[in-house]
Every structure is written in structure tokens, then in C-alpha cells.
Amino acid sequence: MLLAFALCVAVPAVQAQAAVDPAAAFLAELDAVQALVTERKWPAASSRLEALLRAHEGAAYVRVKRAQIEEDVKRCLFWSGRPEPDLRTLISGEILRFDSRTGVLHLRYTAADLEDFQKYELGRGVEPLYYHPITFDGPYSVEVRGTRYPVLFASRHVRTGGFGGSPSVVVELELDYGSGYAILFGFQSGQGPGGRPIYVPASIWRFHAGEWTLQEEKDPSPAQAHEAFTLKVSVTNSEIIASYNGKRVLRARKLEDAVGSVGFVNIETGALKDITLQGRAHSSWLNGILDQAVADAYREFEAGFRAEEHLPAWLLEGAGGAEAPAAAWNYPGAAPPQPPDALREVEQFYVEADFEDGLDYVAKLASGSIPDAARAWLLARFHAALGEVEPAFEQCQRVLQSDPGFAPAHVLRVLLRSGLRSRPETIAALASLAEQFPGSPLPAEELAWWLFLDARPADARRAIEAAHARALASPRLSQLERLLVKAERGPAWGSIHVLNTRHYSVVSNSDQKTCERVAAALEDAYRGYCKTLQPVAETEQRRFTVYAFGGEASYLDYVAEISPVPLENTAGMYSSALKQLLVWNQPDPQQWLDTVRHEGFHQYLDRLMDDPPCWFNEGCASYFETAAWSGERFLEGGVNELRRHDLGRAPSMIPLAQFLREDAYAFYFRELYLHYAQSWAFIHFLRNSGPERADLFQRFFQDLQGERGWKTVVDEILEDVDLEALQQDFESYIRDTLLPTR
């Protein structure tokens, strides 16, 4: 009834507007639909959209909005009437108590429902570690109860580190770093090799990277073999307390900044009664479970979604509809009767991003095996993909001498020169090519993409609509339409939390506390950037957009179409196309904070520079991620331990004459760890080795904000620099300051 009423009310209103200005009325009403989607009013948005499509049936100005309309339909279909996932059905144990406001959680597991625990092998002949991925924000406890206290063979390493045969509880466990605290409850007597009686003291150990340090010991242990037992470990910000059958056995101080998961070793599940975890849980595990459940459901929904079942047939036809079939001949010159087999083989190198082998393969092809113009085009593409600008440009010239009307070579030639000219000049050149070659989708694709990068989504959309009006369609144009929708709408979340501060708009599907933590970290960092480097111009004072994902699953799904490289094992990214900072809820607070500040610097710099060189962008982000406010000062110059570690394992540095001119491919696809480390080290060197080097940093920072391409700027700056002296000073700084023990 409500749906029918909505349709009856909406249609006359829409039609009345359409009589005045159909296209304008449609756009205004579509904005109203999108506002309802943003407000998560799914049924109202769905009914209003259906009415709108009926009122403007068949209109060309509706077809060009297909991507936005389809996204709205999908979100409404998925979320309408869908309940939020229930944690109690997603966790293998029993939730005895959970307060979503404070994070206080009380979990209970029995031997039959330990699926949430993960198994980690400690080595041959050693019982595995079972750990729970949950971490805690405050005091917590782990209690293990059983019917028969186990006694296994003791290792001779018990007094020098290792679990031996002792039943043990592990807290503050960080497997990535091999660190944590082991509480060995020990036992009074048991049978060792040869039947000799043995015993193991109760003890607390700190372990890190293979080294074990004894914190506290009780000898003999109060534990009695084969008897019922209750092992309890309580953890506060400063200490660890271990109890056996209700009596305190051990007490030791701990590092205040330690954080990690919990687990157990050498406790037979057959003798296990239950395990309880209690404390103020970090939101990462719980929200990650919810996030994974929604992500799985949405993937399944998308796989089964058929646009023709939910959208009118006329909307799926014409502009923005089916993509044009791929051309049989995508090379310069006339198509031969039968394309050479070698072309199919060489294209596979490009598909697999194996550019170096592809270049070698083409160079070694026998003369006459493929047309000369096609060979030149393949060489141009491979050289360009490898960041080798001059050889690529030379091959493009050869292609155009043979076939002046080959549009892709004209486009590639413009892109190869983009590092030497301003972004507006590149956009103007691409716009000219789009007019010169109205039948080719490539100039339109690149024009729309560069307008998108230039924070001109409306112009990018108009470029796509102009391409559709010329009956052009391609996978890239469809992808750009989807990215434009992402830029406008963000993730397809159900319930959300929003926090708007002076400079940031933070949205999360996690909780309000996450928004507050992200916003506080970013505001502090932004204040430091503006005070230490340069404020953002008043004309750019619009809020930065930030999405904080509840878990890794939805984050990876969202960024899959954004990044050209896989982003597994990353904690966040900044998309210069979407103008969005994207992070997911990490359990390690320091790693999470470093990620937020790192990506936040990219977002800040994007307001100042169109296209900074990778070494400057990543180097500054890695450098300033360790900076923090202390009173009224922004303290910079700290050590980025990850970058210093990578710097220390590098056999040598890349010569600065090469390093400072490298393209994105060389930076991100050739020894990535070294490029990040050297970028951080070079910025650290410029910022902290005297006024002359500080002035050089400032010149880079100021000149890269100009209208010229970054390669032109870098070349001009280096003309005034003694590169040999700079190289020597840089290497000395690394040796004496950043790696003094190397």
C-alpha cells in the first residue's frame, strides 16, 4: 500500500516538472533520489526512482545516467529489509556480555566450539599454539578451566626460553613480530626421559624475534598433575598477573604499549572445560567479522544481479548500454587477411604485465613476422609501460609516420609528455584528440580520466556522455562511470557513522569511536602540515573525505577497481582519482595511526600538487607519518623503523641522478621496498642536515606546485645542484645518522 501510494504521489509531481524542462527536472529529481539513498531510506528511494524512470521513459538524458541509476537500484535491492548481521551467529563461542558503546566483551568457548581460535605451528615435535585474533583496548583476562592438568615432556630449554611441555597462556601476542608474553604454569613432577622425575617452574617470559627474557618465576609451581585446574591471566596497562585455582602465582610488569592477541599452548582440548575472555575489546575483530559477513553477502548479490531484471529495457539500450565489440585489428596500418600468431602471443605479455619480457620478445621477432608499424607500436607500448619515455616516444613517431591517423599513438604521445607539461596542457591536448578522432574511444577515455584526476567530476561525466552520444562504448568508459559513482557515493554500506570536523568528513561502517579516532589523528597531522609546510589555499578549504572500513574484506572489494596493483596486506590508501582516504580498522593501534597519517599526507599534498614525483610523495608521507604534536610544536625527524630496516638490508642505494627522475613504474614495480626506504631517507636528509639541504627541500616543495610537469621541475632544480656532492652527503647521512650501526 505504501509503495502504491508513493507511486501515485510521485508521478504527477515529476511530470509537472518535466513539462517545464524535462532534463533539468529529471536531474533535480535524481538528486532527490540520491539524497534518500545517502540517508539509507531504501524503500522510499526505490519507489521514487521507479516513478522517475516511468515519467522520463526513453529519454536520452536518462540513458547517460545509467551507471548512477543502476548503483542506486543495487543498493536499494540489497539493503531493503535486510537485517544487520548478528554477531551471535558469526562467532563460534558464546557471547555472555557485549556492550557496543564501551566495547566490554565477555566470551566463553568450550572444546567443541574453538573455531574462532587459529592454529600456529611452533615447529616439529612441539605442540602448536592456538590463538584468538581478538585484541583489547584496556584491561582484560583469560581464564582456562579443565578437568585434568596435563603434563608433557619438558624441554631442556624451559629455563632459557620456550614453552617446553608446560601448559601455557600467551598474551599480547603479535605473530608478525614474533613477540608477546608467555605465562608457563609449569608442574611439580612428571616423568622425563628414562623415567626420571622432572618439574618445571611457573614463570612469565617476554619473547621477541626469537629472544626470550625471564620476567618472573615461582619455583616450585603450585600446579598439580592430572587434577582439575583453573588458569587465569589478568592483564592491565602495566602488569600481568597469573593465578592457579584462584591463588595468585606470578606478577610481572609489562610494556605499556604492548598490544596483541591471546592464546594457549600444551593444553589438551580433551581435558578442556572452557575458556573465557573478558575485557574491553578493540573493535577490529568484531567489526571485521560483521564486515566480512556483509562483504560476502554483497559479493553473492552482485554475482546474481541481472540489470535486465530490474531496469527497463530502454535504459539498457543505446548510449551507455552494451559495450562495442573489440576491434579485430588494433594496430597501425591496414589489417592483414590473417593476423600473425606472434601478435596474439605478444599481447599476452601485456595482459600479464610482463613488460620486460614482452619488450625482449618483440625485439627478437624475426623480420617480416609482423608488420613494421605493428612492431613499432608494440615497442612503444612496452617502453611506455616500463617508464622509458624517450624510446617510447621515438617508436610513436615511427608509427605515425606510417599511419598518421592511428589515434592510440597520438594519445600515447600526449601521455608520454605529461610529466613535462602542466595538467591543464595535457587535458587540452586530449580534448583536441577527442575532437580529431570522434570514432575512437581511447581519446575520450583518457580525457575523462584526466578530468577525473583534476577533481572535475562533472566535466569528466560530460566527456563520457559526449562519447556515448557518438555511440562510443568501451570497458574503460564503463569503469570510469563506476568510479564517478564511487566518488559521489562512497561504499555501499547499510548503517553508517559520520563525523564532520573542521577539515575532515569521516564516514565509517564500524562505530562512532572509530570516526573520532581517525578525525583526531588527521586533524593533528593536518595542523602540523599547515604550520610546518604550507596551509591549503582558502579556495581549497573543502572537507577532505575519509572512509574508515570496519574490516579488510569490504576495503579490498572497494579498492579492487581503483588501484592498478593488488592491495592485499595494506592498511589503507589515498585515491587521487576519487579524492578519498580509505583505511580499515587495524588491531595494532600504532600501525593504524601510522597508516592514517601516511595516507593523510598524500591527501593533503594532493590539494597542493597535481602530479608530484613518487619519491617526493611517498618520501614525505613516510617521513611525516612519525611526526606528532607536543604542546604547540610539531615534532618531526623521528625514525620510521620499517623504512630504516629496509634501508639496512639494501645492498646499495639507487644513484640520485636516476632515482630523482624515475617514473611510477620504476618506483612501484622495481624493488618497491628500496624505493620507499630511499625516499624516506632522502626527505629525512633534506629536512635534517642543515640549512642548505632544507632550502633544497623547500625549492622542490614550492616549484612542484607550479604549472610545469614534475620532470621539467626536477631537471631545472638539479641543474643548480652539485649532484656528486649531494650523493656523497646523502650516503654519509645514511651511514652516520640513519644507520649508525650498519
Q: What is the pLDDT of residue 653?
A: 92
Do 144 and 262 lie in a common domain?
A: yes
Question: Which of 48-57, 73-82, 497-506, 622-631 has the lowest average pLDDT?
Answer: 622-631
Cell 529489509 appears where?
Answer: 81
Reading across the β-sheet that carries 580-584, which strands appear in turn?
497-500, 504-508, 544-549, 580-584, 572-575
Do 598 and 616 lie in a common domain?
A: no
Quick check: 576 pLDDT over 50?
yes
Over residues 674-697, mean pLDDT: 96
Q: Render pLDDT for 294-342 as a digit per residue (tens, 0 to 9).
A: 999 999 999 999 999 999 999 987 544 444 444 567 889 887 777 777 7
Q: Render pLDDT for 378-412 as a digit per residue (tens, 0 to 9).
A: 999 999 888 888 999 999 999 999 999 999 999 99
Contact between 682 and 581 under an 8 Å Cβ cutoff? The reply is no
CATH of the domain at 351: 1.25.40.10
Q: What is the pLDDT of residue 325?
A: 46
Helix axes 407-416, 372-385, angle to 10 degrees: 30
Do 236 and 347 lie in a common domain?
A: no
What is the domain extent for residue 126?
A: 93-281
Provide the pLDDT confidence category of residue 693 given band limits of 50, 70 and 90: very high
Average pLDDT, the chain: 87
Q: Is 335 inside any structural domain? A: no
From 434, 449, 474, the end of a domain falls on 474
Tell me the residue type at 656. L
Over residues 85-100, mean pLDDT: 92
Q: Is 594 inside any structural domain? A: yes
Cell 650498519 appears where?
Answer: 742
3-state secondary structure of 314: helix
| Sequence-separated contacts (24+) of 718-722 with Cβ below 8 Å | 718/657, 718/660, 721/696
Residue length of the chain: 742
Q: Is 324 inside any structural domain? A: no
Provide the pLDDT confidence category of residue 369 given band limits of 50, 70 and 90: confident
Do 205 and 252 lie in a common domain?
A: yes
Quick check: 198 pLDDT over 80?
no
Quick check: 97 pLDDT over 90?
yes
- φ, ψ for residue 187, nearest 5 deg: -165, 160
Q: Is 333 inside any structural domain? A: no
Do 692 and 741 lie in a common domain?
A: yes
Q: What is the pLDDT of residue 188?
A: 72
Q: What is the pLDDT of residue 138?
A: 86
Q: What is the pLDDT of residue 388?
A: 87
Quick check: 200 pLDDT over 90?
no
Contact between 504 and 672 under an 8 Å Cβ cutoff? The reply is no
Over residues 648-674, mean pLDDT: 89
Do 271 and 400 lie in a common domain?
A: no
Over residues 34-56, mean pLDDT: 92
Grid coordinates standing for 29? 529529481
Quick check: 212 pLDDT over 70?
yes
Q: Is 592 inside any structural domain? A: yes
How would you label 116-151 residue by residue, b for 16+ Cβ within 10 Å and e otherwise? bbeeeeeeeebbebbbbbbbbbeebbbbbbbeebbb
Quick check: 2 pLDDT over 60?
no
Cell 592491495 appears where?
Answer: 567
- φ, ψ for residue 491, nearest 5 deg: -65, 155
Do 648 and 567 lie in a common domain?
A: no
Quick check: 11 pLDDT over 70?
no
* 500 vs 422, residue with greater confidence: 500
Distance between CA atoms of residues 110 and 319, nearest Å? 59
Over residues 441-445, mean pLDDT: 93
| Closest to 662 (Cα-Cα) out of 419, 413, 423 | 419
The whole-model pTM stands at: 0.85
Q: Render pLDDT for 519-548 as a digit per residue (tens, 0 to 9).
A: 999 999 999 999 999 999 876 678 999 999
Do 642 and 680 lie in a common domain?
A: yes
Q: What is the pLDDT of residue 130?
A: 94
Q: What is the pLDDT of residue 9?
A: 35
If 0-12 CB within 10 Å is exposed, 13-18 middle and 19+ buried, where does residue 111 land?
Answer: middle
Distance of CA 344 to the CA centre of its chain: 34
Q: Is 329 inside any structural domain? A: no
Overall number of domains in the chain: 5
From 552, 581, 607, the end of a domain falls on 607
CATH of the domain at 533: 3.40.30.160
* 533 vs 101, residue with greater confidence: 533
Over residues 182-211, mean pLDDT: 78
3-state secondary structure of 342: helix
Q: Is 689 inside any structural domain? A: yes
Q: What is the pLDDT of residue 292?
A: 94
Q: Is 360 inside any structural domain? A: yes
What proportion of the chain, given as a percentage, has pLDDT over 90? 56
Do 573 and 646 lie in a common domain?
A: no
Do 69 and 44 lie in a common domain?
A: yes
Distance between CA atoms of residues 120 and 143, nearest Å? 20
Q: Render pLDDT for 214-258 as a digit per residue (tens, 0 to 9).
A: 999 998 889 988 899 999 999 998 999 999 999 999 999 988 666
Question: Which of 26-35, 154-163, 341-350, 550-559 has the lowest average pLDDT?
Answer: 154-163
Do 137 and 162 lie in a common domain?
A: yes
* Other CB atoms within 10 Å distance of the CB of residue 700: 22
Do 163 and 184 lie in a common domain?
A: yes
Grid coordinates standing for 110? 568450550
Top-ranked range on mean pLDDT: pick from 270-274, 612-616, 630-634, 637-641: 612-616
CATH of the domain at 615: 1.10.390.20
Over residues 143-149, mean pLDDT: 95
What proportion of the chain, given as a percentage, has pLDDT over 70? 91
Q: What is the pLDDT of residue 3?
A: 33
